[in-house]
Structures are given as structure tokens and as C-alpha cells.
Amino acid sequence: MFSLKAPSLLAFDKERAEGNLRTIYGIQHVPGDTYMRERLDPVAPKVLRPMFTSVFRQLQRGKALEAMTFLGSYYLLALDGTEYFSSKTIHCASCLHKVHRNGSCTYSHQMLGAAIVHPDQRAVIPLMPEPIVKQDGTDKNDCERNAAKRFVAKLRRDHPHLQFIITEDSLSSNAPHIETLHAYGLHYILGVKAGDHVSLFQHVQAAEHAGDVTAYERHDRAAGVVHRFRFVNDVPLNASHAEVRVNFIEYWEISQDKVQHFSWVTDLRVTKRNVFHLMRGGRARWKIENETFNTLKNQGYNFEHNYGHGVQHLSVIFAMLMMLAFLVDQTQQVCCAWFRAVWTKLGSKRLLWERMRALFYDYAFRSMRQLFKALLYGFQKSSPLVMLDST
């Protein structure tokens, strides 16, 4: 359903193409929409984890992740929380809830999303998100910070030897979170803001007066852009946690008509040689919002659409399965020449899914490749003798 971007479970059920589900997806019998919801509701989301790691291992084995390495052998992992469901009436045992002054209640679902990103790569590789849900046996709401703790513990269990640089927005730049990242051997590039990190910025200002801050500029004449940096290593994150020392980068991108300003802290030692790359790593964080959440919301995935809520886990299971479909699609985008050719021809993902669905429901195919070929060359024409690739 999510692979085909069917708009609802009912729509998917009505147009079910059992033959293609068998040949393309290897699914023998698909339950009807009501039965499917009943079956999925009690399923604990953690059973989906091996499917995420299985696709990830295939990407590793196929050397597809090599293009995603950053600053040598690191992977840049962007984390961010997002809300994908909110209601005053519909709720389940996993819902977060907020009681308003007038006694009414808003129920919601959030997740901590994670994706391997790279400044030069359009594709992102999502990992299994950590649901932000009411925890079993408690009445307390969960929060993004707790979810992040659970996430990094599972990340290390799944990938004990991979080297990650975690990149997040300025909400994450607090001492307990940085200590957690450190405890799991994770590097970081985290946003900071003058308004939220007052003592850090005061400290940098004092360092500037003492002549300890390095200024660096790089001119990109072709693009008409000046990259201006100032950085200082080994400063305290804030007054109350002076033992947490960070390296600080402030950056201005100056072009003809505008100036953009960013600042980050990192545990990686900043030098004139690496500051430009660290900046690009910090800025690649937006890909978790733009290339991941916004794609799920606006590119045909119906992320905020309610496929069914259930009373236990259904809503969470659907969100995880949608992310799994997104992972498979991103893998196709990186590894499958047919997928890329069809996408280029049609010009948008939205149109690609639409055409794919139309053919899927009406004609019998032996494989996804045959379906992509039909989309590329037209359905009536026979396939050319010379293949595009030999995979």
C-alpha cells in the first residue's frame, strides 16, 4: 500500500491486484482492510526493525553507502522530531495527550526521525525512527529527549562499528544530550543559537577579545558568494555545565542580496582545513526536514493522512511501514537505473507513483523491472534488445 502510495486502505483493497502483489512483492494473500487493521494493531513496532537493518545491510554490501561517507569514513546522521497525527477525538494507548485549560484533550503521535544525509547527495537513507509514544505501563507523556536516548542505544546495537556524526537543531545542544552522544561514541555537529546559549556566545566574545578566535574566509567567485567563519576550540557549553567542552563555529554566507547566518558546536576539532566541510555537514541537517519529512508529507506518501488508528500500535505501525517504503524507494533511487530513468522521464515522484499505480492495477507484470520498463518505453512497445544495465 505504501510502496504504491495508495491514498487509503480501502482504495488499496478495492483495486487489489493479487497477481502483481504475488509476482512483484512476493505477497500471497492480502487480508481485507478491516482484517488488516485488526491483525496489525497488536504488533509491537520493534518487529519491523530487522527489515530496516536488512535493507541497510544490502546497501552496505552493494557499496551503495560509499557515496554517503563524509569527512573520511564518517556517516552524517540527521535526527529530528516530527508530529504526524493530531486529533481531539481519535486516540489509542500509544497517543501522547495534552489536557487544555477547558478540560478538552489533544491527542498526537510524534516520532524521532533519522536519516543518513550527505551535502552532495540528493538521496537520504532513513533508519528506523524512534516512536515518541506513551511508554508501556506509565501514564506519562514521552518526549523527544527520551526518544533520542532510546534511539542512540538501538543505533549502537544495530551498527556497533559504524562511525557517525550526529547533526541536529539547536534544541539538542544541551549538556545531558551531548553526554549521551559521547557515552555511545557518537560525534556531533549541533546547531546553537545566541538567544538560547547566552553564556556560550559570551564566552566566544571574550575569546575574540583575547585573540583566541580564528577568522577564516573563502571566496567562491563563480557563485558570487563569500563564506565567512569564526571558530574557537574548547569552550564550555554553558555556565552550569562548564565540564562539557565544545568547539564552536559561526558562519556567514554572504551573497549579493542576502546574508545567511548559522552557528554550531561540535566535538571535532575545528581547523581552517576542515571548517568549510563541517559547515556543509551542519547545513545538511535540513535534509531530514526537507528531503525526508516534507517528502513524506507532500510527495505522494500521505504521511499525515490517517490510514486507521487502532487502539494499541496500529498508528505507529503504519508510520513505521511508510518510512520503510520510503527507505526502499530511496534505495531504488540510489541503486536502480530503471527507477532513475522513469523518474527523469516523468519529472516528479508524484507523477511516477501515479503512473506506477495505474499500470499496477490494470496489467499483469512479472517484476518491478518490467513495470518500470513499461513506464519508460510505453506499454505497447516491446522492450529494446539492448538493456540499460545488467543488474
- Shortest CB 135 distance to Zn ion, Å: 13
- Shortest CB 312 distance to Zn ion, Å: 9
- Extended beta strands in 237-295, E state: 245-255, 259-266
- Shortest CB 42 distance to Zn ion, Å: 14
Q: Which is nearer to Zn ion, 91 or 285 (CB)?
A: 91
- Shortest CB 142 distance to Zn ion, Å: 12
Rounded CA-CA distance 341/335 in Å is: 12
Stretch binding Zn ion (CB under 5 A), from 90-98, 156-164, 291-299, 333-341:
90-98
Contact with Zn ion (CB under 5 A) among 24, 36, 78, 92: 92
Query: Applying CB under 5 A, does 95 fall inside the site for Zn ion?
Result: yes
Q: According to CB under 5 A, which residues from 312 to 331 bind Zn ion?
A: 315
Phi and psi angles of residue 226, each rounded to the nearest 5 degrees, phi first: -110, 130
- Give pairs for 132-141: CB < 8 Å, separation 24+: 132/81, 132/96, 133/94, 133/95, 133/96, 133/109, 133/316, 134/93, 134/94, 134/95, 134/96, 134/97, 141/96, 141/97, 141/98
Q: According to CB under 5 A, which residues from 280 to 309 bind Zn ion?
A: none
Q: Which is nearer to Zn ion, 78 or 95 (CB)?
A: 95
Residue 307 contacts residue 296 (beta carbons within 8 Å): no
Rounded CA-CA distance 337/343 in Å is: 10
The mark string for 324-363 relative to Zn ion (x by CB under 5 A, - otherwise) is ----------------------------------------
Q: Which is nearer to Zn ion, 92 or 147 (CB)?
A: 92
- Shortest CB 85 distance to Zn ion, Å: 7
Cell of 179: 553526554
Half-sphere exposure of residue 122: CA atoms within 13 angstroms, side-chain side: 7
Q: Which is nearer to Zn ion, 45 or 191 (CB)?
A: 45
Q: Which is nearer to Zn ion, 91 or 230 (CB)?
A: 91
Give the closest residue to 287 by CA, choosing from 113, 134, 147: 113
Q: Which is nearer to Zn ion, 233 or 302 (CB)?
A: 302
Neighbours of 352 (CB within 10 A): 22
Please count the residues of this chain forming the interface with Zn ion, following the rule CB under 5 A. 4
Q: Which is nearer to Zn ion, 94 or 172 (CB)?
A: 94
Query: Applying CB under 5 A, does 110 fall inside the site for Zn ion?
Result: no
- Shortest CB 11 distance to Zn ion, Å: 22
- Shortest CB 339 distance to Zn ion, Å: 34
- Extended beta strands in the chain, E state: 69-70, 74-87, 96-99, 105-117, 125-126, 130-132, 164-168, 187-191, 214-220, 225-236, 245-255, 259-266
Residues at the interface with Zn ion (CB under 5 A): 92, 94-95, 315
